[in-house]
Amino acid sequence: MASPRDAEVARLSALITRQRRELDLLSAQAQVRSILDLARGMLMEQLGCSAAEAQRQLARLAEEAQTNVTELAAQIARQLPPDAVPEPGPGRLGAAWATMEAAPDGNAIAAAMLAEVLTEAGAAAVALWLIEPDGGLALAGQAGFGAREASRWRRIHPDMTSLPQQVAHVNAEIWWPAGPPQGDRQPLMGRWPGGARAALPLQEAGVTLGVMMICWPEPADGFAEPLRRQIAALAGLGAQTLGTRLPHGELAGGSQAWWVFGLLDDLHGSVLFARAVRDDDGKVTDFRIDHASPGFRDPAGRGAAGLTGRTLLEMFPAAAAAGGLFDCCAAALDGAGPQHIEDRADGGGAGAADAAVHQIRVARLYDGGGDRLAGPGLR
């Protein structure tokens, strides 16, 4: 039986491993973007076209040459292609990725997915939602459904039973070969109630940003493994593209529900808002801080700007202690109810220099949809 100390070490080791992996990925992505930007600039100068047109030309040429976009861009820019860079690969995924990168909005991202990959697989429509702070889903983009249908699904309440919310809650893929299971009467988006459907989480760095749903007009015998892998890869590219836009407020979703943060800020002088980070097996390994109230100051003197976007264990390593803040967050997310840590002047609850920490209260927001927690009372 593992000791509490072993659990603490395992959590911190997992944190270091994940940070190393994320750093390597960011470095590789920076190399790719640098080469792509250089190649696009050269095409814009030679062809007298816009950046979006240059991106489409790059995607088309890569597909014709049966190579990936980065390798072709490196050839155009006369650069060595970066080693071990995650790539969507040749063919349709490569073209979709390049087009999505240049897409001006969420609908254009969805349209690129449909045109470059999903239409060939027989799909008729795709929709992308982003998880809002209250656990609801905001439609970030769609293709194939039509404006009227999209307007009916522009927001899905956190308590509304629906396929996208199921995926957001369980953080897992759902595949329906012939409409919903027998007896399931939940509302469906689109005009193909008996057609095949697939819904997958949009995940970046272990965090679920939203949900992708694909509809086929007819039932299917099943989903072959190559198709599942292709769609999963497409979801990864979608998450990467959306994740890049979110911090700059370019898309719907988190940016549309900041009133929740404002309400919590007014009710509590000091509050953190976080969501779970999971490994490939779905196990919670950390919590990423989405928001900290403007006046928040942790025991180490760091303000909201220094905490937002970071993870709980990164900012408060002592939270990994058995029975500490991490365990309280995990228990609250699992449905054990609000958790309290009081009078923890010994630093066991939040991190080094914790003498000023008197009370911490952790609770799920709504029903925890999207793995979200609010932590008022951290002061």
What would the pLDDT profile of 314-350 be if each residue is shown by its tens digit?
888 888 888 888 888 888 888 888 888 764 444 444 4
For residue 174, the model assigns a pLDDT of 95
CATH of the domain at 117: 3.30.450.40
Shared-domain flag, residues 85 and 116: no
Average pLDDT over residues 276-294: 80
For 252-301, give the DSSP string: SSGGG-HHHHHHHHHH-SSEEEEEEEE-TTS-EEEEEEEEE-TT---TT-
Same domain, 22 and 135: no
257 neighbors 132 (Cβ within 8 angstroms): yes
**Domain identity same for 96 and 11:** yes
- Give yes or no: residues 118 and 241 share one domain: yes
State whether 184 and 278 are in the same domain.
no
Residues 145 and 77 in one domain: no
Domain limits at 22? Answer: 1-102
On whether both 30 and 82 belong to a single domain, the answer is yes
pLDDT tens digits along 204-249: 767 788 999 999 999 999 999 989 988 988 998 888 888 766 554 5
Q: Please give the residue that has the higher pLDDT: either 182 or 305.
A: 182
Choosing from 214, 229, 252, the residue where a domain stops is 252
Whether 17 and 123 share a structural domain: no
Instruction: Calculate the average pLDDT of the chain.
Output: 78
Q: Which of 13-17, 278-282, 331-335, 363-367 has the lowest mean pLDDT?
A: 363-367
Give the per-residue pLDDT at 25: 60
In the chain, the number of structural domains is 3
Answer yes or no: do 215 and 272 share one domain: no
Please tell me which residue, 342 or 88, carries the higher pLDDT value. 342
Over the stretch 159-190, which tens digit does the pLDDT of each residue have?
899 999 999 888 889 999 999 999 888 999 99
Residues 22 and 117 in one domain: no
Are residues 206 and 345 located together in one domain of the fold?
Answer: no
Q: Cα–Cα distance between 312 and 357 in angstroms, integer?
A: 16
Which of these, 156, 97, 146, lies nearest to 126 by C-alpha position?
146
CA 256 to chain centre: 16
Which of 53, 81, 102 terminates a domain? The answer is: 102
Percent of the chain with pLDDT over 70: 75
**Of 55, 83, 102, which residue is a domain's last?**
102
Adjacent-strand bridge partners of 287: 276
pLDDT-derived band at 58 (thresholds 50, 70, 90) equals confident
Radius of gyration, alpha carbons of the chain = 22
**CA gap 180, 163 in Å, rounded:** 9
pTM of the prediction?
0.59
- Residues 299, 358: one domain? yes
